[in-house]
Chains A and B, each alone.
Chain A
Amino acid sequence: MKNKLRPAITLLALLTLFTGVIYPLVVTGLAQVVFPHQANGSIIIVDGKVYGSELIGQQFDNPKFFWGRPSAVGYNAAASSGSNYGPTNPALLEAVHARINALKAADPDNLLPIPVDLVTTSASGLDPHISVAAALYQVRRVASARGVSEAEIRSLVEKYTEGRQLGFLGEPRVNVLLLNLALDGIQ
């Protein structure tokens, strides 16, 4: 038993050194040199001003902005979480109703069907994207709130639509933060 203790302790210490110290440091070093933008959180900086991260959504409920996915944590990027509501939970239905009402109140004459991702919370609470359908649903509202033509807003949505990666991976989507920045003339 005792002659197993020394290898156990030294091996754990060495493996800690390799996998817990050297490995993360090497990855950090390489990442900071080769991919510094990504490694530090894909932060959006325009003219020296910091606007957020390309990958982390923000809360929008003003009619002149596109709204992102509902978030269970109000886009708190230091405490990610989903809602964890089960499909039969009455609280889920209630929350979805409230979101539908908010969308209708901001744009009463919109007769398009509401895409599911616009009224359901994301897994992370930080989803930076909405579906293309969810963006198109909001074009009318944003255009009238800003007093510009729908065609202008729609072409901006098209510009910020990301296709499937490599042509077939994932879903086509719109980055809400980048789109809203573009609406405010920040690109």
Chain B
Amino acid sequence: MNTYSWIQLGFYFVVLVALVKPLGSYMAKVYQGERTFLDPVLAPVERFVYHISGINPRSEMTWKIYAVAMLMLNILGLIVVYLLQRLQGILPLNPQGLGAVSPDSAWNTAVSFTSNTNWQGYGGETTMSYLTQMLGMNVQNFVSAATGMAVLVALIRGIVRHTAKEIGNFWVDMTRSVLYILLPLSLVLALALVSQGVVQTFSQYQTVSLIQPSAGNEAQVIAVGPAASQIAIKQLGTNGGGFFGVNSAHPFENPTPLSNLIEMLSILLIPAALCYTYGKMVGDTRQGWALSAAMTVIFVMVLGLAVWSEQRCNPVFAAIGIDQTQTNINPGGNMEGKEVRFGIVNSALWATATTAASNGSVNSMHDSYMPLGGLVPMWLMQLGEIIYGGVGSGLYGMLAFVIIAVFVSGLMVGRTPEYLGKKIEAYEMKMASIMILVPVVVVLVGTAVAVISPAGKAMIFNPSAHGFSEVLYAFSSAGNNNGSAFAGLGANTPFYNTALGIAMLFARYWLAIPTLAIAGSLVRKKKVPESAGTLPTHTPLFIAWLIGVIIIVGALSFLPALALGPIVEHLMIFR
């Protein structure tokens, strides 16, 4: 760690925090149906959408209807993405003449993009036509992100309203999320990225002759495409699915340190700002700041571990005289699978941010990280991606932990637990438990099945403990809708495509539906006036308690599995 490392980390946090309040209060306006500065342009478009679709924006839904609407839109999206991949060979906008994607891969990818996971078993430039990327991936990047935000907003309404039934109109929340938040931000970001060198064209791949040609290697085919528009939303919507195979490590996807900074900011921007939106909507911004404080504390702790682990020397390399010392002309550290323009600190910061959120884009190859450097992203996913987390999904996952924390503390002092004036009872507790346990079961059972089945073992790339880490990482990623990978694992096989597809479906909808159920239950309850026995949920004490609950649940669930992978590998290197 040199001065520049500290400056870059510090600058990242300062800019992020500075953006939270303006964007957060703007989003609160959007979801409360208030007027915004974009209304003159967007309000007519919004009315047009409702008119054509036969939506009455003033009629609201109970939680069950809200859930049905959400599922229908998502299932339709899944079918469209599947068909686009299967039929791309005969559809237009396919200058490279790419053929149909195999059924298992198409299923995996369709689930992956509708569930906001963006796990990619395929390499973008060798598999997907421009049409599939635009109408399939790009659209689901918006729709899946907006779905997460809609579910969160419905939950917030459940907390805020009392003795009511309805939690909002799903179609309206979707439309406003896309039109007022995701599209304008994406447009600005996409153009900023193009200015740095991200490609945006519909022409076919470029062929150039080489400066130093050799036998059988005289020309270079350079993949291009409409990348910037997709990259902007994949960063903002915590999607993470790259246009190119290596995602934001590709120089056309992330060409400069500045493009890297704004892509990294985009990962956490909306999830962090939604904490403020939350505080605003529940009428007490301290509640939002408290949650983001808990998130930030955990984030900074594990970020430190990741940067330290990657920047220190690999003893194996040190033994053969390789210079891994960080200086002003040498990035040093573990540069295997990292790009020179980013160096260590920007790679480790990205890896931490992308797994804290459910983004899953990468700018370095996590599979080549040092054991503890690889443990950090894995564990952040296993915590359920609630450290900022996915857009919407991160905060509703965090609120499940809040319910658990409030409930446990209530039991300790022998009072009925309550949160923001609502009694937390057995039903909410059951739903919150489902939300926390389902991903744990999916990850651990999936990993166990994979490492005892021949089809699962056959595709492991790295030997020994690291091979186990590859499988554990894959199921941690799919089982929490992240999408990043220890990419050595050959996951584009029927076994992994099917198994990980199922994991992604469970992780997404078995969290979203219980969330809506909690919303439906809370919205019916009376508001309990605050009393001397009420546990305040904005104090440092509560923040510390919440962090404790998260770490205990996360550590207890996954420490045994982590011991078999990264921890044992660490002990093998640093004896």
Q: Which residues of A contact B (CB under 8 A)?
A: 1, 4-12, 14-16, 18-21, 23-24, 26-28, 30-32, 34-35, 38-43, 50-62, 65, 69, 74-90, 92-93, 96-97, 100, 113-117, 119-134, 136, 164-166, 168-173, 177, 180-181, 184
Contacts and interface: CB of A to CB of B under 8 A. Distances in A.
Contact of A116 (B210, B258, B332, B347): B332
19 contacts: A12-B139, A14-B53, A15-B174, A19-B138, A43-B208, A50-B206, A56-B251, A59-B212, A79-B123, A81-B245, A84-B462, A92-B336, A120-B334, A122-B337, A123-B363, A127-B340, A131-B331, A133-B330, A164-B257
B280 interface: no
Interface in B182-212: 182-183, 186-187, 190-191, 194-203, 205-206, 208-212
Contacts of A54: 197
Contacts of B211: 51-52, 58, 60, 65, 177, 180-181, 184
Nearest to A90: B463
B118 to A, nearest CB: 15
Nearest to B209: A50
B573 A88 contact: yes
B163 interface: no
B462 A24 contact: no
B68 to A, nearest CB: 6
A55 B255 contact: yes
Given A16-B139, A41-B222, A123-B364, 7 more contacts: A8-B76, A11-B171, A34-B195, A79-B223, A83-B365, A119-B322, A133-B327
A116 B329 contact: no
B330 A116 contact: yes
B369 interface: yes
A75 B213 CA distance: 12
B144 to A, nearest CB: 11
B260 interface: yes
Nearest to A14: B49
Interface stretch (B17-25, B284-292, B313-321): B313-321
Interface stretch (B224-232, B442-450, B506-514, B548-556): B224-232
B142 A15 contact: yes
B37 interface: no
A180 to B, nearest CB: 6
B492 interface: no
Nearest to B45: A18
B391 to A, nearest CB: 15
A129 B340 contact: yes
Contact of B77 (A12, A14, A24, A83): A12
* Leading 8 A-B pairs by shortest Cβ distance: A170-B257, A84-B488, A123-B249, A86-B466, A132-B329, A113-B323, A169-B257, A82-B365
A24 B229 contact: yes
A124 B251 contact: yes
Contacts of B125: 78-80
Interface stretch (B4-12, B393-401, B419-427): B4-12
B201 A4 contact: no
A96 B320 contact: yes
B199 A11 contact: no
A136 B4 contact: no
Given A19-B138, A20-B139, A116 B323 contact: yes
A165 B257 contact: yes
Contacts of A15: 139, 142-143, 174-175, 178
Given A28-B202, A113-B323, A35 B338 contact: no
Contacts of A8: 69, 72-73, 76
A25 B79 CA distance: 24
A87 B256 contact: no
A40 B203 contact: yes
Contact of A168 (B8, B220, B330, B461): B8
B250 A126 contact: yes
B195 A126 contact: no
A113 B331 contact: no
Nearest to B139: A20
B220 A7 contact: no
A171 B488 contact: no
Contact of A32 (B200, B362, B363): B200
